[in-house]
Amino acid sequence: MFQAVKTATVGVCAAIALCIPASALAAGPELTTWLFAEGSTNGAFGFEQEILIGNPNTTPITVTFELFTQDGEALAPVVRTLEPLSRYGENIRGLVGDRVGIAIRLTSSAPIIAERTMYWGGGLFRGGKSWNQKVNDLRGGHNEHGQQAAAKTWYFAEGEGKFFNTFISVANPNNTPATVTASYRDDAGVEVAQTDVVPANGRRTFWPTAVLSGRLQPGRAGFATIVTSDLDVVAERQMYWGPGAPSGIHGGHAAAGVTTPSATWLFAEGIQGALSTSGDPAFDTFVLFFNQNETPIDVKVEFFGQAGAKLAETTRTIGGLTRDGVWAKELPGLINQAFSIRATSTMPFVAERAVYWRGLTEGTATAGATAAALKWGFAEGLQGGFQMYQDDSDNDKRRFNTFFPIYNPGPVPATVTVYFYTEGGNSGTTKTLVVPAQSRETVWTLLYDELANAKFATFFSSTAPIVVERVVYWGRNNKAGHASMGIPLADDFPLTPAPALRSNPSGLTVSPSRGVPGGGTKVMIEGAGFGNTELGTQVLFGGVPARDFEVENDTLIRAVTPPGATGKVDVTVETRGQTITAPAAFEYFDPWAAVGAPINTFRRNTGYACSGGGRACQIMASFLGNVADMARRQSGDIANSCRAFGGNEKFVEDVIAELRIRTGTNRWGMNIKRGNQGLSEDIVTYYYGPEGSDMRNSTQVFIIDIIANHCNPADRFGGGPFWLDQTQATADAGTIGRWTLGPMCSNARYRNAVNPNTGSLVFPECQ
C-alpha cells in the first residue's frame, strides 16, 4: 500500500524525517478513519511521537494501527482496545523502534478523535522509574489532528523562506499517480512553482525554502502556497527554525492546509505581549491572509476580549494573489491582552494565525475555523507532570499546562459544558461555564483538582455556536508548546459525563527519613494521586509547611524541610481536597551527633577505648581496599596530596566521603594534626565516642594515615595508598589530633552529596 518515493530533495527529507509515504484510503465513516502522513522516531534528531485518541463512546471500542515505514514496508497491524469515555496515548517508538519516517492509518469501530504530537530534543521518552538514559528534553513540539478526506486543492497562508525551514508534504491516497504543483506566492505576488508526480500510495515533500531562499530578502521572506493536483491528495506544512540542536531545529509548528477559502475566519486564541507582571514570557500574534483571488479584497479584522469587549479593529487591503497579515503589536488595544479574532471579507480568502514567544524560541500555527459549531472534540490534553517526560538530572520537570480558549462570535451568551475523559476509562469530570456574546473565555485545567497530573481527552457542548482551540505549554516559563483547532462535531453527536472521578490520593513514603533541625533537607515523598504544585497542595513536616516543594508527577513530590526540633514528626500532604499523613515519617537529628555504635576495626590502642572485651582490634581489609580503589581512579589527586608541594586535601576528602557511604555512619572526618597544627592532608579520623555524642573538635579519635611517602622531597610523586594506624604513635607523642570536617562544607561537592544507598546527605553537618 505504501511505497518508497525518491525526490530531488531526498537527502534533506531523509535527514529530518519529513518525506514519509501516506496511506491509500478513502474517507471512511465520519470520525472512524484517521490518516497521519507525517511521523518519526528518529533518535538521531531527537524525534519522539505519540498518537492520542479520545473515545467519547460509552462502551469499549477497538482501534487498529496500520504502520508503514519510510520505504513503504507495511508492519504488522496493532489492535488496541480503548475503555469507554477515555483518553489513550500510544508511544510510536514502542511499536516501530527507531525509524526515520512512519505513516499511520487508524481505523476504529466507533467515532473517535485522533491527533499526533511530535516532540524533539536529545534523548528518548523515559521508560520507567529506573532509567539511566538521557530523557528527551522536549525543547519543541507540534500537534495536528489526523486527516479524513483528500482534496484537489490546498491553501496555506503561512510560510517563510529565510529564517524558517518550510516544508510542504503531499500524500497521494490513490491507487494511481497524481501530478501535483506547489505554487508559492511571495508578499509581492511573484509566483514560483514546482511540479512533481506523487506515485500511487506515496508521498512527496516540497521544500520551498530551498527554492525561494536565494531570491527573498530578510524581513520580506514570507509566502503563501497553493497545492493543486489532478487527484485528491492530502497536504500539510511544517516549519522549523533554530538555532539549536538537533541539526538547527529548536522551534517548530505544523498545520494542515485549507481546502476551501471562506469569507469568514474565526480564531479563539490570540495573545500579545505578556499577561504576567514579570513580563515573561512575551508573545507575538500574527494573523496571516492569502488572497487567492485575482482582484484585491478588503479584510476586516476584529479582536474580542472578555465580557463582550471589542479590543481592536483594523482593515487590510490585500492585492490579488498576494499575502499580507496583521501583527497584533501594531494595535495598541491588544498590548498585554488575550483575545479571539474574527476576519471577514466580501470574497473568500485564506487565514491562519501564528503565535511566537520569547524571541521566536517557540511558536504555534493553525488555520482558522470557517464557522462556529455547537460541539467540539480534542484527543490531546495534559496538566501537570509525567514521569515519561522527566529527567532526574534536569531541574526543569517539564510540567504541562493546557488551555482551551473559547470564542463566542454570536449575539447571545453560550452556556458551555466541558466533558473531560482521563486515561484509564470511565473517569474524568464535567464542568460548565458561560461565555458572553462576542467574547472570549478560557478553560485552564490547572484549576481543576480532578485533572491534576492527568492526561485527558476533552469534548465541548454549547447552547450557542462557539469556536474552541487548545493550547498546551510545558517546561519552566512555558519554554515550548503547541496549539490546534478542535474538531467540530455534528449537533446531535452524543456526549456523556464520565461516571467516576479519579482515585483519591494514597500512600506516603519519605526518603531520606532524617534531616537536620535547621531545615533544608531535600526529600522525596512518594505516593499516588498527588495534585498540582501551584494550587490545592500543601506539604507539612510536624505541621510546619515545607520550605519549598514541587509535585513532579502523580506519584512524586520533592520537598525541602523547614526547621524543626529534634525528634520524629508526621509528614502530611494535603492535595486534591484530601489529607494523607505518614506518622513519625521524618526525624530531625543533631548532625554533629555520632550515628550508630562505634565499630571495632583497629588494633588495640591502650587508653583509647578500643572495646571488644580485651580482643585486639583489627584493621578491616575493605578500608585499605577502598583507599587503593580510589588511588587507582584518582591517581592525579593522590599525587597532588602534599600541600608542601602546592597540593590539597581532595584525595583525603573523597576517601572520607566514600567511607561514610560504605559504612553508613558520620563518624569519619578529617584531623587537626598534633592537636593544633592545622589540617592533615593524608590523615583520616574515626570518632569512637558514644552514640549520639557531639563529635566536634573531639580527641576521642582513631588516626589512620592513608597515603605513604606523599611528601618525600626525593620522590614527591611516590605517594601510594596506605592504611596505617597512627593513633598510638600520636598518643605516645602527646599530640593526639582532633576530629573536624575542615573546609569540606564550603565545597558543594560534599555539602550536597547524597548517599546512593539511603538517599540521605553524606555530610548533614554541612546543612
CA distance 536 to 177: 58
Q: Which of 482, 471, 444, 478 is nearest to 268 (CA)?
A: 471
Omega before residue 512 within 30° of 0, cis? yes
Residue of 613 and 583 predicted with greater confidence: 583
What is the pLDDT averaged over residues 591-614?
59
Q: What is the pLDDT of residue 612?
A: 37
Give the helix/strand (H/E) hosting 230: strand 223-241
| DSSP class per residue in 653-666 | HHHHHHHHHHHT-S
pTM of the predicted model as reported, rounded to 2 decimal places:
0.85
Using pLDDT thresholds of 50, 70 and 90, give the confidence band for residue 247: low
Report CA-CA distances (Å) from 178 to 172, 232, 434.
Answer: 7, 8, 48
CA distance 36 to 59: 25
Using pLDDT thresholds of 50, 70 and 90, give the confidence band for residue 594: very high
CA distance 404 to 338: 12
Dihedral sign from CA coordinates of 152, 154, 160, 164: negative
Q: Which of 340, 331, 328, 323 is nearest to 289 (CA)?
A: 323
**CA angle, 308 then 313 then 314, to 5°:** 165
Tell me how far apart the terminal alpha carbons of the chain are, to the nearest angstrom: 65
CA distance 603 to 82: 69
How many Cβ atoms sit within 10 Å of the Cβ of residue 199?
19
Using pLDDT thresholds of 50, 70 and 90, give the confidence band for residue 280: confident
In one-letter notation, the amino acid at residue 126 is R
Residue of 167 and 581 predicted with greater confidence: 581
Q: What is the pLDDT of residue 72?
A: 59
Residue 214's Cβ-count burial label (10 Å; 0-12, 13-18, 19+) is: exposed
In terms of average pLDDT, the best of 36-45, 453-462, 515-524, 666-675 is 453-462
What is the pLDDT averaged over residues 336-356?
97
Q: Which residue has the cell 509547611?
A: 545
- The pairing of strands 578-588 and 514-515 is parallel
80's CB contacts (< 8 A; 6+ apart) are 62, 63, 65, 88, 90
- The pairing of strands 548-553 and 556-560 is antiparallel
In one-letter notation, the amino acid at residue 505 is P
Comparing 60-74, 374-388, 537-551, the range with the smallest average pLDDT is 60-74
CA distance 121 to 101: 17
How many Cβ atoms sit within 10 Å of the Cβ of residue 39?
24
Residue 279's Cβ-count burial label (10 Å; 0-12, 13-18, 19+) is: exposed
Cell numbers representing residue 297 in the block? 479584497
| DSSP class per residue in 31-42 | TTEEEE------
Q: What is the pLDDT of residue 716?
A: 54
Cell numbers representing residue 717 in the block? 610523586
Q: What is the pLDDT of residue 615?
A: 36
Share the mean pLDDT of the chain.
Answer: 87
Cell numbers representing residue 219 in the block? 524581513
CA distance 100 to 545: 49
Comparing 37-46, 282-291, 662-671, the range with the smallest average pLDDT is 37-46
List phi, psi (to 5°) of 765.
Answer: -60, -30
Report CA-CA distances (Å) from 442 to 172, 239, 307, 646.
Answer: 38, 27, 12, 65
Using pLDDT thresholds of 50, 70 and 90, give the confidence band for residue 641: confident
Q: What is the pLDDT of residue 380?
A: 98
> What's the chain's length in residues?
767
Residue of 2 and 718 predicted with greater confidence: 718
Interval 191-227: pLDDT, tens: 999 999 987 777 788 999 888 888 887 778 899 999 9
Domains of the chain: 149-259 (2.60.290.11), 261-371 (2.60.290.11), 506-588 (2.60.40.10), 621-766 (no CATH)
CA distance 376 to 76: 33
Q: Which of 420, 514, 518, 412 is nearest to 465 (CA)?
A: 412
Question: Three-state SS for 48?
Answer: strand
Query: Residue 607: is its pLDDT beyond 60?
Result: no
Distance of CA 592 to the CA centre of its chain: 40
Give the helix/strand (H/E) hosting 428: strand 428-435
What is the pLDDT averaged over residues 282-295?
96
What is the pLDDT averaged over residues 404-415?
98
Using pLDDT thresholds of 50, 70 and 90, give the confidence band for residue 4: very low
- The pairing of strands 701-708 and 720-725 is antiparallel
Give the helix/strand (H/E) hosting 477: none
Comparing 446-460, 473-487, 661-675, the range with the smallest average pLDDT is 661-675
Query: Residue 674: is its pLDDT beyond 80?
Result: no
List phi, psi (to 5°) of 74.
Answer: -90, 120
DSSP 8-state code for residue 501: P
CA distance 141 to 481: 6
Q: What is the pLDDT of residue 722?
A: 79
Query: Residue 257: is its pLDDT beyond 50?
Result: yes
In one-letter notation, the amino acid at residue 412 is V
Q: What is the pLDDT of residue 244?
A: 58
Report CA-CA distances (Å) from 695 to 312, 512, 752.
Answer: 72, 22, 20
Residue of 418 and 608 predicted with greater confidence: 418
What is the pLDDT averaged over residues 692-709?
87
CA distance 667 to 695: 8
Phi-psi region of 359 (alpha: psi -120 to 50; beta: other; left: phi over 0): left
DSSP 8-state code for residue 765: G
Q: Which residue has the cell 492520542?
A: 52
Q: Which of 553, 528, 249 is nearest to 398 (CA)?
A: 553
Q: Which residue has the cell 538537533?
A: 246
In terms of average pLDDT, the best of 8-17, 375-384, 726-735, 750-759 is 375-384
In one-letter notation, the amino acid at residue 591 is P
98's CB contacts (< 8 A; 6+ apart) are 41, 42, 43
Query: Residue 364: is its pLDDT beyond 90?
Result: yes
| DSSP class per residue in 588-640 | E--TTBPPSPPP--S---TTTT--STTPPP---HHHHHHHHHHHHHTHHHHHT
CA distance 343 to 263: 8
Cell numbers representing residue 75 in the block? 508492519
67's CB contacts (< 8 A; 6+ apart) are 74, 75, 76, 77, 78, 92, 95, 96, 102, 103, 104
Q: What is the pLDDT of residue 24?
A: 28
Interval 100-134: pLDDT, tens: 877 788 999 999 999 999 999 888 999 988 888 88
Q: What is the pLDDT of residue 618?
A: 45
Query: Residue 28: is its pLDDT beyond 60?
Result: no
CA distance 5 to 318: 38
Using pLDDT thresholds of 50, 70 and 90, give the confidence band for residue 70: low
Q: What is the pLDDT of residue 536?
A: 83
Question: Three-state SS for 15?
Answer: helix
Query: Residue 309: is its pLDDT beyond 80?
Result: yes
What is the pLDDT averaged over residues 417-439?
95
**CA angle, 480 then 485 then 489, to 5°:** 145
Using pLDDT thresholds of 50, 70 and 90, give the confidence band for residue 283: very high
Query: Residue 29: is its pLDDT beyond 80?
Result: no
What is the pLDDT averaged over residues 596-608?
56
Query: Residue 61: is its pLDDT beyond 50?
Result: yes
What is the pLDDT averaged over residues 634-655?
86
